[in-house]
Amino acid sequence: MERSIRTLKSLLKRQGDFPLSHPSVTHSTIVIEKLLPAPRHRVFAAFSDPAKKCRWFAEGDASEVQHFSMDFRVDGKERTVFRSSEDSPLKGAPLTNDTVFQDIVPAQRIVLAYRMTVADRPISASLATFDFLEAPHGTLLIFTDQVAFFEGGEGAQIREQGWRELLAHLEDELSR
């Protein structure tokens, strides 16, 4: 017990090195509901088919895809490596998204854990759930992202904006 107290006192003395008044991790929960004009099996296929997932999730004008791989099964992994454009705020830095699929119920639910890095520096870790619900004229997608942002992480507003853009790309993919 005395050793634990000494350790705590030592940490408190080093407050300048690691400010206790500013948390090193901030947490946020993002929930986005989107009505998609396609049946659940087609929406699910856009997540489970590697070519479709790469088109809506990885490819885009703001970055160059350097690597995309996906093993869509429970405990399977997905890895995406992008290079941001030189005119972006990240000025060409590499971004990595490493995912592990936790639970998959075809056409109903996908639960995954993912970690993001910028220039090999971790910025966040998340547990995300995609629920696919039957809806008139399509599928109601409910996306929930429980995020821990590390020092220098972009924060909830930027992450939510990014997911809204990705889900708009998903809708485009479904209209192909």
| pTM for this model (two decimals) | 0.84
Per-residue pLDDT tens for 39-74? Answer: 999 999 999 999 999 999 998 766 789 999 999 999
Average pLDDT over residues 132-142: 97
pLDDT class of 89 with cuts at 50, 70, 90: confident
Backbone phi, then psi, for 76, in 5-degree steps?
Answer: -75, 165
Q: Tell me the C-alpha distance between 126 and 134, whole Å.
A: 26
**How far apart, in whole angstroms, are the C-alpha atoms of residue 146 and residue 41?**
25
- What's the whole-number mean pLDDT along residues 127-132? 98
Distance CA 132, CA 174 (A): 14
Q: Pick from 20, 23, 18, 28: which is nearest to 124 by CA?
A: 28
pLDDT greater than 80 at residue 155? yes
Domains and CATH numbers, the chain: 29-174 (3.30.530.20)
Question: Do the Cβ atoms of 163 and 146 come closer than 8 Å?
Answer: no
Under 8 Å CB-to-CB from 160, ≥6 apart: which residues? 30, 32
